[in-house]
Structure 1
């Protein structure tokens, strides 16, 4: 007959603890990498740079002043970006009655590239044609990058990389 120590853990419980520990380490590493990647983005609480840009396939220009009065998501993308192709359609699911959602194309050679990207994903929000000046003003270094603005156009959130529909909705509630 073997005696078990009072403080010994069962093998199953040890496996569960080990798995939880590995998950915790993974989450910490993920947030550390995300924070490092986003270190150059504009700080929350800062007023977003204003802009005046042409809209894709329209003669009308879009002015950032049009974003006032609602929370806004500005999503920067490049038409060649594979992660953008995976995440951009999540923007279509956001409530346009409560949010302004715009996409700004950067790092494209021809507007046809942007048009094909938009048509393939059946995007319904305004698509603007950005430039290197705007890219520098918003400190864009990777795609996709997006900013969440409050009604006064102050940055209340930002992120880089893929974001789920739920992630976008939660960030826009800030």
Structure 2
């Protein structure tokens, strides 16, 4: 009898998780429709360490918008960190303070991905960002292939990059 109850609750839990995942993906798809869908026009970014990050046009590329004050961004940061070890990733911190404050935030959390400080939300306006985090994935021709609003798992990000890298 006890095993039957455990199985029943486990099945219900998995159903709720599946249902919530479907809802989250539908919301993300809906929110993504308003984003800038044009090919990437920007060729380089100025990072918080004052260096320039030049986009390698021979490989897929990720632009990830986030903020230090965003709770979901904090959860997703380790996913972006891992992805940045294998792919070209530049992140854009929006309204997150000075370069020094962002650097301190990254250091506290042992993160070292590339960061642009979008203090005036200029880049956010170009990309039509309305929620954080938001991730754009471009192919090697700098055409947008995926855009995601909200949390994305490490597996989901790697799967999308695999799709762009090998099937495009």
Q: TM class by shorter-chain length?
A: 0.7 to 0.9
2:52 — aligned with what?
61
2:152 — aligned with what?
163
- Residues 136 and 30 (structure 1 numbering): CA distance in 2 closer, same or farther, change over 3 Å? same
2:23 — aligned with what?
29
1:49 — aligned with what?
41
Measure the CA separation in 2 of the matches of 1:21 and 1:53. Answer: 43
2:116 — aligned with what?
128
Question: Which protein has the bigger helix share?
Answer: 2
- Residues 79 and 51 (structure 1 numbering): CA distance in 2 closer, same or farther, change over 3 Å? farther
What is the TM-score normalised by the length of structure 1?
Answer: 0.74
In the alignment, is the contact (CA less than 8 A) between 1:148 and 1:156 conserved in 2?
Answer: yes
In the alignment, is the contact (CA less than 8 A) between 1:67 and 1:153 conserved in 2?
Answer: no
SS in 1 for 2:81: helix
Listed one character per residue, the Cα deviations across residues 81-121 of structure 1 (whole Å, up to 9, x for unaligned) are 11111111112222645x20111111123223311221122
Unmatched 5+ stretches in structure 1:
1-11
* 1:1-174 equivalences in 2 (<5 Å): 26=20, 28-43=22-37, 46-50=38-42, 52-57=44-49, 59-63=50-54, 66-94=55-83, 96-97=85-86, 99-130=87-118, 131-174=120-163
- Residues 22 and 102 (structure 1 numbering): CA distance in 2 closer, same or farther, change over 3 Å? closer
Length, aligned pairs only: 154
Unmatched 5+ stretches in structure 2:
164-168
1:153 Cα offset (Å): 1.1
Between structure 1 and structure 2, the one with the greater Rg is 1
